[in-house]
Amino acid sequence: MRFVKTLIVGLLCLAVMMVGIMFTIHNTDKVTIDLVFVQLPEASLSLWLIATFVLGGFLGVLLSTLTILMLRTRLGSARRKINTTQKEIDQLRVSTLKDAV
């Protein structure tokens, strides 16, 4: 089973690499990117598109990581609050039992 998984992942990587190579070969036109305030240097269209794709992936991972860290912090805070509340409830139960006796 592990061999089949490795084979499928390898074939998928090879297919993605082939698509990337074909994309690069067919998009060699030189373009200049004008971002209103900044004009980026002239480079091939495929380079700009791949760079944008990689930058978008990196920013997506970064934002997801920040969101996960924020949610973990909130979860830890909620757990501490639950533990504090549970201890207080236990103390109230014990004190009620002592008062009844």
pLDDT in tens, 29-80: 899 988 889 998 999 998 898 899 999 999 999 999 999 999 999 999 999 9
When pLDDT is averaged across residues 82-97 and rounded to a whole number, the result is: 88
3-class DSSP assignment, residue 43:
strand
pLDDT at 100: 64
Bridging pattern class, strands 43-44 and 34-35: unpaired
* Residue 16 identity: V
Domain boundary assignment for the chain: 2-100
pTM over 0.85: no
| Highest mean pLDDT, choosing among 21-25, 35-39, 53-57, 92-96 | 53-57
Residue 94 in this model has a pLDDT that exceeds 70: yes
Distance of CA 31 to the CA centre of its chain: 31
Residue 98 in this model has a pLDDT that exceeds 90: no
Residue 9 in this model has a pLDDT that exceeds 90: yes
Residue 101 in this model has a pLDDT that exceeds 80: no
Judge whether 33 and 50 are in contact, CB under 8 Å: no
Contacts for 46-51: CB closer than 8 Å, 24+ residues apart: 49/23, 50/20, 50/23, 50/24
Judge whether 30 and 47 are in contact, CB under 8 Å: no
